[in-house]
Amino acid sequence: MHATLALAPAGFMFATGLLLGGCAHLATSAVPVAPAPVSVQVADWNGYLKQTFVINGQPAYVVVPKIAAPGKPWIWRTSFPDYQPVVDLELVRQGWHIGYIEILDLLGADPALDLMDRFYAQVRSQWGLAEKMALEPCSRGGLPAYRYAARHPERIACLYGDVPVMDFKSWPLQWPEAKATEWPKILRAYGFKNDAEAMAYQNNPIDQLAPIAHAKIPLRHVICLNDQVVPPEQNTLEAKRRLQALGSDLEVVSVKASNDSWGHHFPYPDVFGSVRFVMDHSAVLPAGHEYFQLRDGLANSAAKFTREKRGRVVFYGGSITFNPGWRDELMHYLQQRFPETRFDFVASGIPSLGSVPHAFRLEHDVLSGGPVDLIFVEAAVNDHNYDTYPNRAELALRGMEGVVRHLRQVNPMTDIVEMHFVHDEHLRIFKTGQIPYTIAAHERVAVQYGCPSLDLAREVSDRIDAHEFTWAGDFRDIHPSPYGQQLYANSITRMLDAAWTTPGAPHPHALPETVDPLSYFNGRFGRLTEARLLRGFTLDPDWKPTDDRPTRDGFVHVPTLVGSEPGAEFEFNFEGRGVGLLITAGPDAGILEFSVDGSEWRQIDTWTIFSPSLHLPWAIMLSDGLAPGRHTVRVRIAAGHNPKSTGTALRVQQLLLN
C-alpha cells in the first residue's frame, strides 16, 4: 500500500472571497481538511481509471495512473478536460494523477474558488494527493486557475496554461460571439449589478499577479500570436510584462499563426517541453533535494543529438538494466526530447555481472560496435557479489574505473552517467550513517573523472523513510516492481532535464590521473583458442549444461573450456598487469588452483551462494598487481570441493586480460 501524505492540521480554515458591491472581502469558511469519503463511480479515460464523484452538485473526477509516481503528484485541469489532452496523457503515463471539477460556467468567481477549496480537500484526503499541484487552465479556465493561485499560492507547484484568459474584460467582453452568452454569466457569477461595476473590477487574474510572483510559482503558457478570441497582447503577453515588473516572469511558447477557430485552436508546440515543465516543478522530493551530481555535464551528447541528428546510447549493467522498465522509459524520453534524432540504442545489460566483468567485456560488447555518445553504467548492486572477498571495495573501484577510463581513452567526447541502483543491503547501511562500499567506490571514480552520477539507492531509502512507499509492498526487490522501475526512470530523466536545460558547449572530457593505477582500464577478452590444454580440459564450441539449472543469455551455446576432474590443467600467455577468468559457476563448481610465472600455487573456491540454482556468470581475478610485460598463467582443478558443491567442475568462457 502507498502511504497517504500527512494532511494539514485539523484547525486549518480555507479562505473564501465574498464579493459585495464589486469589492472583494475575505471571510473564513470552515471547510474540513479531511472530509468524509465521497461515493465514487468508475469509468475509462483514455485507457486509465477515472473515478468520478460529486461535490456540492458539481461533477468531479480523479484519473488514476497505472503506477503512481512517488508522493502522488498531480495536475489539476480547470476547464475543457478532454480538449487536446496530450500533456495530460503523458503525465498520467509517468505516474501523475489528474484532477477535475466542473466550474466552467462560474468563470473564476468566488463560488468557483470555494468549490475548488472543497475539491482540493477531498482529493488530498481521499486520494492522498500531494500538497502542491500543477494547475492547467485552458482558455477561460485561466480565470479560476489564476485567481485560485492568488488565493492559495502555497498550494501551487506550477501553472501550465493553454491560451488562458487573464482578464474577462478581454474575453468574453471583446469577443462578439461570447459576449452575448458568457458576459451575462460573468455578471451573475460575480454578483455585478451592471456592466460599469464589472468594468471597475480590479481582481481579474491580470490584477492578482503579485502573490504569484512573490511565491515564485513557475509559469508557462502556449499561445498563438494571431488568436483573436483570447488576444495575447491583452492576456498572456500583458501578464508577462506585469510579472517582469514584479521581478518574476512567464515562459511563453508560441506559434505564429493558425487558421483554426480564429487562431484560438492550434496543434500544441513543444508538448515534450510542457510535460517536463510540469514534471520538473511538481515532482515530490521529500528530502528537499535532488540525488544527482552533474559535475562535468552532458553537453557532448546533447550537441551530438541536436546538431547531427543521430546518437549511440548504451545501457550498460546487470539484470536491472537487462530487464524491461527504466531503460524502455528512457528510450521513450530521449526520442521525445530529440524527435529528429535517429538513435542507436544498445541494450548491454547482462544479469549477475558487476563492474569487474563490465571492464573486461567493454571492448567486445560495446566499443566494437562504434563510438559511444552517451552511456549509462550501473553496478552498485551486483558488485555486492564480492561481499565475502577481503578486497571487495578494491574490486568495485578497479572495475568501475576500468569502464570509465577505457571509455575516455577511446573517445574523450563520450558522456558517462554512473547510476547507483538500490540493494536491500544499502537500506540497512544507510541507517547506520555509512555509505555502502560499492557506492563509495563508484563515487570516487565519478568525482575523479567528472561523471554525472545518480544515487538512486539513497533516494529510495529516503522515500521509504518518508513513508511514501514500502520496500516489501511497493518496490519489492533489488529487481524493482513496475513502480520501482518508474521511480528510476523519473529520477534519471529529471537528472537529464537538469543537465540539458543549459548544457554548455561541447568539449573533450579530461583524462585525469588514475584513482588506482591497477584499475582494469586495459581490460579485454583473451582468445580461448590460444589456451594450451595440458590435461583433462576440452574446448566445447557449443557448451550447454546437462542438468536442469538455468543459464544466462550469452553464457550458453558459446565456446567454453570445460574440465571436471581434479588435476585437469591448461595454461596461456598474455601481456599486461592483471589476469582473471570469466566462468560459469553452477551447482558442481569446484576449486581452481593457479600459478603465474611459476609462482606458488594459490586456490580459489568458485562455488557461490547462487550456484545451486543457476549456472552463474562469475568473474574471478587471479592476479592484478603484476609487473607490466608478458606472463604465463597455469590453471588446474584442485582435489576436493566446497561441501555444498556437487562436483569439481570448472567452465571457463572468457580469459580476462588487463
Query: b/e map of 160-175 (b: 16 or more CB within 10 Å)?
Result: bbbbbbbbbebbbbbb
C-alpha cell at 99: 484532477
d(CA 391, CA 388): 9
| Residue 31, pLDDT above cutoff 60 | no
Lowest-pLDDT range of 12-21, 121-130, 235-244, 500-509: 12-21
* Confidence (pLDDT) at 570: 98
**Span 596-621, mean pLDDT?**
95
For residues 486-518, b (16+ Cβ closer than 10 Å) or e, as one string?
bbbbbbbbbbbbbbbeebeebeebeeeeebbeb
For residue 33, what pLDDT is reported?
A: 52
What is the tally of helices (H) and strands (E) in the chain?
17, 28
Q: Quick check: 652 and 560 in contact, CB under 8 A?
A: yes
Give me the domains of the chain, ranges plus CATH numbers: 14-282 (3.40.50.1820), 292-501 (3.40.50.1110), 524-657 (2.60.120.260)
Phi, psi of 430 (to 5 degrees): -60, -35
Q: Which amino acid is at 366?
A: V
Query: Collapsing DSSP states into helix, strand and coil, what is residue 539?
Result: strand
**Mean pLDDT, residues 392-405 taken together:** 98
Overall average pLDDT of the 398-419 stretch: 98
Other CB atoms within 10 A of residue 1 CB: 7
Mean pLDDT of 1-18: 31
pLDDT digits (tens, 9 = 90+) for 193-220: 999 999 999 999 999 999 999 999 999 9
Does the structure show a pLDDT above 90 at 14?
no
224 pLDDT band (50/70/90 cuts)?
very high
pLDDT of residue 11: 28
Which tens digit of pLDDT belongs to each residue from 440-492?
999 999 999 999 999 999 999 999 998 888 999 999 999 999 989 989 998 99
pTM of the model: 0.85
User: pLDDT tens for residues 540-579?
Assistant: 999 999 998 999 988 999 999 999 999 999 999 999 999 9
How far apart are alpha carbons 397 and 518 in whole angstroms?
10
Computed on alpha carbons and rounded to an integer, the radius of gyration of the chain in Å comes to 31
